[in-house]
Structure 1
Amino acid sequence: MPSSDRPRRPDDRSTHRAPKARSAQRPAERGRTADPARLAAYTVLRAVAGGGYANLELPAELRRRRLRGRDAAFATELTYGTTRLHGIYDRIIAIAADRPVERIDGGVLDSLRLGIHQVLAMRVPPHAAADESVALARQVNGAGAAGLVNAVMRRVTEADLDTWLTRIVPSNAEPLDRLAITTSHPEWIVRALRQALLGHGSATADNVEEGLAALLAADNRPAEVTIAARPGLVEPAELVAAGALAHPVVATAWQLTGGDPGGIAAVRDGRAAVQDAGSQVVALALAAAPVLAGPAGGPVTRVRWLDMCAGPGGKAGLLAALARADGADLVANEIAPHRADLVRQTLRPLMESAPADGPQVTVRVGDGREIGADDPAAYVRVLVDAPCTGLGALRRRPEARWRRSPSDLATLGGLQRQLLISALDAVAPGGVVAYATCSPHLAETSFVVSDVLKKRPDIEQLDARSIVEEVAPEWAGTLGQGPGVQLWPHRHDTDGMFLALLRKHPTA
């Protein structure tokens, strides 16, 4: 790949210069096939359009095309950046093509989005981006589409991103609508995130606009790869030798500044795993939360922990290692059989190394909503990593912002409440439940907890801030107004994890 094709951060306005050159070649005179990196990105975008997930589709596509190093990095930025910012690009395409995007074939639209991202957000010369986009369109969309792509790309290269942003924002747009357009977020998400910043005590009326702008910008920046070192399975020296850097806050977390995490032996073996630092904090806080003895001198005869919604297994892997160190069993439950298989895969090193007379790790398939009735008061620590909209992980799962809608909240809210109620029934007297979501939306976080607690006099909510500060002391004073904890991409450089810790009264 030429040096001019190196990816840059999509929000780096300092490098957005108005292009001066464009290809003088006719479409028929240009290359007829796309390069592998661009073709990989296009393939992933089409899979995402069909319901796939970029974080699952892209690694498989890179392996299939044997892309490594700079080619893999180029394809990754092209895929993720285009997906994040296609709200902007679609408005540009509508102007440049002089037609609504709904009238453009989906495959052709993806070819155009990829080309525009190269011009407006990556260090790709305009003529190269145009030539490669036409070659891609000819190969995957047909000769007729190549002409449209050529015409649109020629017009797009006439201005830089800042100029285009002024063109696509209506003159009468309200401030939040303007922010939604220029940051490529659906308007309802922008309003929900603003409300969440205020509702969690992470911003005030005086500074919420500044915080919201920073949060939306963070959603559009690629997240660094973070690894969870599972205690007792991997030594720090091994990760240092592999090029990982210790996380500045979270003891189990390690950061990779480049390269494929699959190239690290500990990751391949399941002794470590790719996992966001905020996600690790949820597991660490549950393990550190104080448990009180029940009326019989202990909550249960055999100490068991439960991960109620364990798939695909990231938190379960860390919890299993922490449970073993505490002398406890871990039961990892997952409702979907194929996701349960993923959990078994990530837990295999702990399952295979468990001594016959020591702490055990078990994976089972079942509905978490039924565990409270089937296994009442059976677990000392329970994690409910509830299904949610994923609005806290938009930088890692860029397609989520375009797939979710406000109507999802009603369906998810009912499920979240049912799972939390089941967990509270499943926890032993004196035991602790951690309710977590990868979303800061108030309807999925504080409102769920408060609604359930209204009918549970046997449950007290702990101040999770003090417990999180034990495992992440540098975050003291940044965790909101309590008693729940809300992490933020722009403040903690983690996914937007919410955590509430609930303890059953010992005499319940």
Structure 2
Amino acid sequence: MSDRSRSPYRPARRGPRPAGGPPTPKDPARRIAYDVLRAVDTRDAYANLLLPSLLRERGVSGRDAALATELTYGALRRQGTYDAILDACVDRSLRSVDAEVLPLLRLGAHQLLATKIPPHAAVSATVDVARRVVGHHRARFTNAVLRRVSARTLEEWTAIVAPERAVDPVGHLAVVHSHPRWMVEALAAALGEDPGGDLADTERLLVAHNERPRVTLVAKPGRAAVAELIEEGAQEARYSPFAAYLPEGDPAALRSVRQRRAAVQDEASQLVALALTRVPVEGADTRWLDMCAGPGGKAGLLGGLAGQREARLLAAEVQPARARLVAGAVERSVRDAARVVVADSTRPAWRDGVFDRVLVDVPCTGLGALRRRPESRWRRSEASAAELEPIQRALLDRALDATRPGGVVGYVTCSPHLGETEGVVRAVLAGRSDAVLLRAADHLAEVPEVAAGDFAQFWPHRHGTDAMFLALLRKAPADAR
């Protein structure tokens, strides 16, 4: 079946402008999509932050907002595939195409190959935007390339531009499912598949990365209940006792979200934080630490749970702007149990050996959230994980230093890359005699199939969540060393 059947978006019909109102922008959906793609390329902007901001700023809503969202995320997710096709449609290398023009070609390719927008409308509308942003000469070039793209379906094009699967399975999947080759290899390794083999499970993961993720909400403990979210239109979630799925609409329209009693948070993100709180500890259980707390999702959940147990949470974040987000996330937690500090957790101000529970959600490549941040797949390189591993090891070391004997540490990444997950944990354990690895799945009764040996690994194609990784470690009592 052609991908033309997969998206319902068609050009929106506009009625007459109300008398005295502001002029209606020409094709606001495509212009916003272009502006976001351009900013992603030139300013390292994040689409999930910039797109909502531009929609609000320009007063775009309804079908135009839906079209802008589809075009933006569709072009980003399928960028690798579209670039391979576009490269076959230009007279020179695609790398030589002007940077201002390339987003237009990707927008046009997405409309032609993956939506129900009629080809003539997709080409003419995109060329019209091109005239406004890059001038008539380059608009003619855009028109010529898109007409060549329109000559074949997506399936026909990929049969031409992708390597044969039997000869190069990794290269085939990289082009067909729009991921860098190195990333396909890394994900296959994390799934335990041979890069030269069938790669069936890897392909299911890549397909999931190109699907729109559902919106998941968290009811902050002690401040909101899942039943309240359901009354506001959400649906009960599959795993987390604090989660609900929002099938449609803007989360900010919910009263509980506006009041910061609920928030948007992936279900796996909730569960890895919850698992840390379930590990039994002997003796005191009153001091909790979140070492890398920004932007505050896990801190918001932990703060509520800490307050319910008469514990206190210290949430540390090195970047002041992100620390302010954390402060908003933990505001009015139960018994005001959470305090936020701006601090570098590799050189902390707190004393060693004082915390009963420590969460260290380390900076990572973000390969676990490619559904939500599709531009990340084009920003990261094979060297990215290696560059982050020293700071990840340092943070886990400092987390264990901060934990009292008998306390517990949760090491979390939003990446399944083996170098960032098992590799970091095993490297740190090899250099210490005061920590033992616990079986993480024992504390995730809702979803036991996440077990990956002693670790827990969530997957989009298996669980419908981000690919969160969790390791639980206990600081060995002094008499056990």
TM-score by length of 1: 0.87
SS of equivalent to 1:501: strand
Match of 2:208 in 1: 218
Could you tell me how far 1:67 is from its partner in structure 2?
A: 2.3
Match of 2:30 among 26, 38, 56: 38
The within-5 A match list for 1:68-467 is 68-170=61-163, 174-198=168-192, 209-293=199-283, 298=284, 303-350=286-333, 354=335, 360-371=337-348, 374-467=350-443
SS of equivalent to 1:227: strand
Measure the CA separation in 1 of the matches of 2:308 and 2:404: 20
Could you tell me how far 1:304 is from its partner in structure 2?
A: 1.4
Amino acid at match of 1:177: G
Is structure 2 residue 27 aligned with structure 1 residue 51?
A: no
TM-score by length of 2: 0.92
Distance 1:133 1:102, change over 3 A: same
Q: Root-mean-square deviation (CA), in Å?
A: 2.1
* Structure 1 range deviating more: 74-83 or 164-173: 164-173
Sequence identity, in percent?
Answer: 48
Amino acid at match of 1:237: A
Is structure 2 residue 454 aligned with structure 1 residue 483?
A: yes
Counting matched residue pairs gives 461
Distance 1:479 1:237, change over 3 A: closer
Structure 2 unpaired stretches of 5+: 8-23
Q: In 2, are the aligned partners of 1:307 and 1:331 still within 8 Å (CA)?
A: yes
Distance 1:249 1:170, change over 3 A: closer
The list of structure 1 runs, each at least 4 consecutive aligned residues, that deviate by more than 3 angstroms after superposition, is: 11-14, 170-173, 203-208
Measure the CA separation in 2 of the matches of 1:118 and 1:143: 21
SS of equivalent to 1:222: coil
Distance 1:209 1:14, change over 3 A: farther
Residues 238-260 of structure 1 show CA distances to partners (whole Å, capped at 9, x for unaligned) of 21222111102221111111110
Residues 201-248 of structure 1 show CA distances to partners (whole Å, capped at 9, x for unaligned) of xx6899971111100100111100111111111133321222111102
Amino acid at match of 1:483: D
SS of equivalent to 2:316: strand
Measure the CA separation in 2 of the matches of 1:488 and 1:118: 29
Could you tell me how far 1:261 is from its partner in structure 2?
A: 0.5
Measure the CA separation in 2 of the matches of 1:339 and 1:205: 38
Could you tell me how far 1:15 is from its partner in structure 2?
A: 2.4
SS of equivalent to 1:281: helix
Could you tell me how far 1:344 is from its partner in structure 2?
A: 1.2
Q: In 1, are the aligned partners of 2:3 and 2:115 still within 8 Å (CA)?
A: no
SS of equivalent to 2:89: helix
Measure the CA separation in 2 of the matches of 1:207 and 1:165: 20
Q: In 2, are the aligned partners of 1:34 and 1:135 still within 8 Å (CA)?
A: no
Could you tell me how far 1:336 is from its partner in structure 2?
A: 0.8
Structure 1 unpaired stretches of 5+: 1-10, 18-31
Q: In 2, are the aligned partners of 1:16 and 1:121 still within 8 Å (CA)?
A: yes
Measure the CA separation in 2 of the matches of 1:289 and 1:274: 25
Residues 138-160 of structure 1 show CA distances to partners (whole Å, capped at 9, x for unaligned) of 11111111101111111111110
Distance 1:57 1:14, change over 3 A: closer
Distance 1:207 1:109, change over 3 A: closer
Is structure 2 residue 468 aligned with structure 1 residue 497?
A: yes
Amino acid at match of 2:220: R
Could you tell me how far 1:480 is from its partner in structure 2?
A: 3.4
Distance 1:417 1:211, change over 3 A: same
Measure the CA separation in 2 of the matches of 1:411 and 1:68: 41
Could you tell me how far 1:69 is from its partner in structure 2?
A: 3.0
Could you tell me how far 1:308 is from its partner in structure 2?
A: 0.3
Distance 1:170 1:481, change over 3 A: closer
SS of equivalent to 1:442: coil
Measure the CA separation in 2 of the matches of 1:12 and 1:213: 18
Amino acid at match of 2:39: A
Measure the CA separation in 2 of the matches of 1:16 and 1:271: 36
Measure the CA separation in 2 of the matches of 1:205 and 1:46: 34
Amino acid at match of 1:311: G
Amino acid at match of 1:496: A
Measure the CA separation in 1 of the matches of 2:25 and 2:91: 27
Measure the CA separation in 1 of the matches of 2:323 and 2:232: 30
Residues 302-335 of structure 1 show CA distances to partners (whole Å, capped at 9, x for unaligned) of x111110001111111111111111111111001
